[in-house]
Amino acid sequence: MLKKKRKNKNMAAIPQSAYDVARVMRARYESEPVIVDVLINRGLSEGEARFVVYDSVLVEKREKNRFYAKVRQDRHVRFALYSTVMLVAGVIIMLLATGPYGELLGKAMIIIAVLSIISNGIMWVFEGI
């Protein structure tokens, strides 16, 4: 993580180690006042320490949102891939099947694959991906 630019030019640049300390302490579920006290003991002013704690919370939330968006997108891609494979398998079974049940099985697989592709598209739209 890069050092943050200050809107208030009177504040000194906050060292990266302060952000690292805040991140590690938040990972240990330390409370915000404890983190602020530790940062003050490391030489930051109270305002800078509060800013680091607040900013580290925002960075964590952004990273978590990116991670979950990626997981949702991966799930949709996998689901679409499985549906496409099922559609192709249904067509192959229907074309190569001899007898009444082979063709029926192929048609059923095609219908299920088309419905799953449609439902995946609907989920994709509603989740905003």
**Residue 1: what pLDDT?**
46
Give tens-digit pLDDT for 36-92. 888 888 888 888 888 888 887 777 788 887 887 777 777 777 777 777 887 788 778
Query: Can you tell me the distance from the alpha carbon of 95 to that of 63, in angstroms, rounded to the nearest whole number?
Result: 48
Q: How confident is the model at residue 125 (pLDDT cuts 50, 70, 90)?
A: confident
Residues 6+ apart with CB under 8 A from 124: 76
Residue 7: is its pLDDT beyond 70? Answer: no
pTM of the model: 0.41
Q: What is the DSSP letter of 45?
A: -
Q: How confident is the model at residue 12 (pLDDT cuts 50, 70, 90)?
A: low
Residue 120: is its pLDDT beyond 80? Answer: no
Q: Name the average pLDDT for the chain.
A: 75
Residues 6+ apart with CB under 8 A from 4: 14, 51, 55
- Better pLDDT: 6 or 27: 27
Residue 8: is its pLDDT beyond 70? Answer: no
Residues 6+ apart with CB under 8 A from 62: none
Residue 22: is its pLDDT beyond 60? Answer: yes
Q: How far is CA 112 from the centre of its chain?
A: 29
